[in-house]
Each structure stands twice: as C-alpha cells, then as structure tokens.
Amino acid sequence: MEHEKDPGAGLDPDPLAEQRGIDGFPPQKQEWPGLDARMTPRPDHGERSYQGSGKLRGRVALITGGDSGIGRAVAIAFAREGADVAFSYFSEHEDADETVRWVRDAGRRAMALPGDLRDPSACRERVERVVREFGRLNILVNNAALHVEKDSLEEISPGQLETTFRTNVFAPIWLAQAALPSMRAGDVVINTGSVTGFRGNPTLIDYAATKAALHNFTISLAKAVASRGIRVNCVSPGPVWTPLIVSTRSEEKVESFGTDTLWGRAAQPAEIAPTYVFLASGDSRYYSGEIFAPSGQ
C-alpha cells in the first residue's frame, strides 16, 4: 500500500467537514471488534498530517489496542518522534498490519502482539517479549478498552461485568506490574481513561465505572513510583471516531455520535495523539498523577 506524505500538511480545523453532513455520520454497524477499513468515513490517525521532531528518539513503547483508533494514532506519532513501537491487539489482523506499515514507514521497529489481555500471564508475556526483543521498555500506554451499551443496570450480566473490568482495569494493572521492574527514571505509564469516568453514562454504567477506577489508579500509581522518577498520567477523551463505536452502538447512535460536543462532532484519533506525545516526552517531566481530558465539551 502506498503511503503518501505531505510535509506541509496540518490538521484541518474540522477533518470531517467534507465527509459528513450536518446530521453526523452515515448510519453503519459492524460486528465487534470492528475494522477501521470498513468505517465511513475512515478515521484520521495522522497518517498524512503528523510531523515528528525527535521527542522520543531512542525510546521503546508498548501500546495496547494499537491496531486502530487512538492506539494507531499514538503508534504513528510515537514512531515519527523516533520511538520503536510494539502494540497489542485482540484479533483485527488487517488493522494491525496497517499500523505496522506506518510505524516502519517512519523508519522505526514495529511489533504486533495479538491476543487477549484478560489474563495476567498474557500481559506479562507481552511485556517480557518487548523487553527481550527491543532491549527495554520506556513507555507503557494502557489504551485497550471495551464497552457494551445496555439500557439499564439490570441488563448487565455477570459475564459482561467481568469482561469489562478485566479488559479496562485488571489488564492495565497487570501490565504495569509486569513493566515497572524494567522501567527507570524518566520512563512513563500513560492510561486511557474517558470523560465517562468523570460524568458517568446511563447506558455505559460498567464502562464508566472502570474508567473512574483507571483515573484513581493513575493517581495512586503516580504517588507510588514518584520516588523512582517514573511518571504516570492519564488521557481521558470524549467521543472519538474509532471502530469501537461502530461495533458497539446502534446505527442511530452512530449517526449522531459526537454532535453534542462544542464542535458538533466527534474527535479524530489524530487530534488526541499529541497529548500522549507530550506525556511520553521530557516536555512533561513535571507532570505526574494528572488526568488530561480532551473532551470537546
């Protein structure tokens, strides 16, 4: 696949302006976990807009859920800033291959790690493989997440509750446990929270609870590792156009997704990734235990 670059390109103030109507996105639905290539319009991960400046030169990052969405945008940005990038994903091999191509296109090493993170041994094995093959791990981005909409609390089954917490809370904790022994002063952990962790959501009750837990985990872990010079922060976006949306929401909700923000639209992944770059780089060396909320609200 040919990857074009435009050195002079920048992010349009509204990347979807020409692709969406005033009523939002075209109605669409995919089976979970969804594929980027089948979305209309395709999300913008910064493929043709993000310009690096060496902020992460020589660093190694592990990003969970790096095959698409925010994870892919962060992988592209990190690579263009000079980092080698490993990322985990569930089973979306087509999307994962695309992320690998963009990382390598930036001249950096890429490693795709498929599988399920709802098991502590799987989390540990991924961290160990990155350290073994790349020699170190400087940046851990706990980004993978799952949500399933339900109209009431009573509809949330024990299985859904356990799956949501294992994916969104347990896995980040297990990954941090595995990564911290290899981390040194200046290294960072970045968690992906959600605006729902602050405000709640009546149809995403279990998901919102996991994100509130992740916010608290960020603050607590930051205090626990500050003496080692390791920083821990969180990015908690509002609505972002990713495969998770079209694979877990009704066509009607997809059509109006993000229209209640100040900008009248959902964010593109490319608009969120620079926050991760800031938190991963030395530019944020005084920041720890912070929760950044690019919510558009």
Q: Which residues are catalytic?
A: 207
For the chain, the distance separating the N- and C-terminal CA atoms, rounded to the nearest angstrom, is 37
- Cα dist from 6 to 13, 43, 46, 149, whole Å: 17, 18, 11, 39
Q: How far is it, in rounded angstroms, from Cα 9 to Cα 31? A: 34
A 10 A CB-CB count for 6 gives 9
Q: How far is it, in rounded angstroms, from Cα 292 to Cα 236? A: 6
3-state DSSP assignment of residue 189: strand
24, 258 contact by CB (below 8 A): yes
167, 146 contact by CB (below 8 A): yes
DSSP code, position 267: B
